[in-house]
Amino acid sequence: MSSDIAGKVAWVTGASSGLGHRFAQVLADAGAKVALSARRVDRLEALAGEITAARGRALVVPLDMADVKAIGAAAARIEAELGPIDILVNNAGLSRQSRLETFTEEDYDAVLDVDLKGPFFAAQAAARQMIAHRRQGRIVNIASVAAFRALGHQAAYSVAKAGLVSLTRCQAREWGRHGINANAICPGYIRTEMGGDFWETEGAAKLIASLPRRRLGEPRDLDGLLLLLCSFEASRFINGAAMVADDGSMV
């Protein structure tokens, strides 16, 4: 399923940890030339070293997804050093927790800038290259089950992820004629660094006990779905989908 990913240029945002780190490794293992973006450059360089040691090719492209001008510059650098972008994995994200009545404008803007505005313009930059070079492309937006259900004290995050699902559909509608497929992966509860110490709390234990199989997901549980949506042949008729991978937590 992943053979046609070999040789493609894949851009992974938020690659310094968690799902993005895993996605970059998976695509590199499938033979893609991977551009790694995030703010924590030391972590990107360590990941690039791992990929290079495994005979892959990786390019470190530092990026703050809240900086739209920097997004365009990052995409231009990727094209110059690796070639036109074929695959974009819009993974960068953050969350702020607060009750609705106390949520600040600063926190709201921080979440929406990184989780929705940044992905909007990263996809625009990648699609412009795909269209200009008349190349098929694959855009995979990493949303969340929060797009479909209200998570406690994470209103801005839920709003951003719902918007990302809607953006995915708009991308599929407008860019499908250019051979660009846009889809979203909507993970459930995955154990990553983003969850911090929460997973060790009593509240987390209660949450996990309420899940159908009483377990959290691991980043590797999304490998198959990622490879499906990045494959040019296997995903040729999948466009505009929001695919939930939550181990049944929303059933």
pLDDT of residue 193: 77
Q: What pLDDT is recorded for position 137?
A: 98
Residue-range domain boundaries for the chain: 3-245
Rounded CA separation 185/162 (Å): 12
SS3 22: helix
Q: What is the pLDDT of residue 179?
A: 98
Q: What percent of the chain has pLDDT over 70?
A: 98
Single-letter amino acid, residue 63: L
Mean pLDDT score of the chain: 94
Q: Enumerate the β-bridge partners of residue 34.
A: 10, 58
Q: List, in order, residues 6 or more apart from 242 with CB less than 8 Å away.
A: 143, 147, 165, 168, 169, 183, 184, 186
Is the alpha carbon torsion for 44, 26, 77, 193 positive or negative? negative
C-alpha span between 10 and 89 (Å, rounded): 7
- Non-local (6+) Cβ contacts of 201 within 8 A are none
Structure tokens of 242? Answer: 């929001």
Which superfamily does 3-245 belong to? NAD(P)-binding Rossmann-like Domain (3.40.50.720)
pLDDT value at 152 more than 90 = no
Measured between alpha carbons, how far is 5 from 44 in angstroms, rounded to an integer? 21
The model's pTM: 0.94
Determine how many CB atoms are found less than 10 A away from the CB of residue 12. 35
111 band by pLDDT with thresholds 50, 70 and 90: very high
User: For the CA atoms of 31, 35, 38, 43, what is the dihedral angle to 10 degrees?
Assistant: 60
Task: Specify the pLDDT at position 2.
Answer: 45
The catalytic residue positions are 157
What's the average model confidence in pLDDT over 185-213? Answer: 82
